Structure 1
Amino acid sequence: MSEPINLPRPSRRGRLLRVGAAFAVLLALAGYLVVQYVSGGPGAPECVAGAGDGRGSTFELGPEQARNAATITAVGASRGMPERAVTIALATALQESGLRNLDHGDRDSLGLFQQRPSMGWGTAEQIMDPVYAAGKFYEHLAEVPGYARLPLTVAAQEVQHSGFPQAYAKHEPDAAVLMAALTGREPAALTCTVAKNAQPGDPAQVRAELTKAFGDGVAPTGKPGDTGRDVAVPVRVTEGAAASGTGGEQRGWALAHWAVAQAAALHIAQVSYAGRTWSAEDSSEGWSGAPVQGGGTQEVRITLAP
């Protein structure tokens, strides 16, 4: 019988190096998966909110996040909530869900704000509706005395009763950038890069979504200039918009930015307002054209994919 071969045992240092290398690979993989989750996957469309002059702060977000942020902002305007309330709502949703309409969470928490059916926020189906969820958040925020003067963490915590109230603070700068763009305070301040529309858009669906987010009367049918592919949205200062300080041209930019945020989902090919145009075909270029005053601010024109 042959003698057993005694192979040298790997050194402890070698084992540690291999374990460390494996751990590094796992970390890299986890980082990649996180990036893909945040961005929506390879080649996913992305949006950028920020000062229209290109000199201010910006915030990058995925298409789902942009849609939800635009919805939260529109619901705030329809309820006459001030810009501070919108910033608080956006920061809260960034912390609770990353601006994603999650169908899971801690215990029975759901949706953008991780509201719980068992705690009286509504049914699971209601909470999973971003318009409903945003409305409930604003409803509770409005009951907080002096919320607009409170630190954001305090105001958000009065609504959410979170186990980690200070976590809202880190989202305040990004929420402020989003608020300025989506309320229209910063013109031409939201742009999204989208894939070429493969399906035709439905004007009735666009009007329905506008009405759901901004309220009745925002997108009347039979508006002069409407065609089979166009939806002309008159820029009227509603009672809610006036109460929130969103009037005139700012209201127009809020509507225009909402349309850009919804472009991928609603198959919108072009959005025009105040002399500026965003086009899905050239979406990586952002808004083109020179700003105009006066008559060019009377309506937002949304052109759908054919």
Structure 2
Amino acid sequence: MRDDGTLDDQYGLGGSADRSDDTQSTVQPTSPAEPATPRPSLRTRLGGLANPFAARPGRTRLAVATGAVCCLGLLGFSQVGLGALGSGPSPAPAPAAELAERAALDAASRGLARPSTAPATPSATPSATPSATKQAKPKPKAKPRPKRIVPVAGLDQAQMDNAKAIVHAGREMGVPRRGLVIAVATAMQESNLYNYASGVLPESQSYPHQAIGWDHDSVGLFQQRPSSGWGTVGDLMDPEFATKAFLSALQEIPGWQDLPLTVAAQAVQVSAFPDAYAQHEWRASQVVAAVLA
């Protein structure tokens, strides 16, 4: 309250100028070079509260600074947007197939760079055996074993085997049965159906043989002589060659099939005992029949 009885307007815009709170502060400045800043009066402070929109130096500066920052941000954003718009359309994303291919290449390169040293684990499913995958080859057919003919007519197995060789050689030549009987009967008389070597020809003993004779240089089943031109020692020691040599000479005799056995055989052999061949005819017929059966 003032002296005139009126109350002071504490929230008014105006006020008495002679109030004690309007006087300047008596605080001395900290530095003699700087003048003391007057302390704002209570009215000034109260006036600011009463009028919040009144201009204040600090607020003005803060507002100006905030506006400048906002303007700069908008300007930068606009420049970035314009730059993005002016640079043309953005590149299209890579197709999925290309991305997968790149990923596979990267994985392969990493695998080559660091090969795994871990042992391979066996597959869970059993693999097919080689015998199942490969087609079974047909087994080669076994060669037929030569038929063993039981000896007949009082012959042993060696004699029977030689008789069989004579019959087979004659069949290869196409000689009829009569010629086969003559050939077997002649061999029975000459060598008793054994393949003879000669004691006179030591060379003959180097070939398979079953006996050794001393009748000059006569060798083989038919006792043919190499010196007479029948063949070499090695040839005549072969039952097949010796048989074909005899039958070839027999076929050169005119009408040999109608001749008696002893005459036909003697015509080929020219033996010192021409009648000796006839005694073997019946046995020779049995042997030929057994071989051809």
Q: TM-score scaled by structure 1? A: 0.42
Structure exhibiting the larger radius of gyration computed from Cα positions: 2
The structure richer in strand per residue is 1
**Higher relative contact order (Cα pairs below 8 Å, separated by 6+ residues):** 1
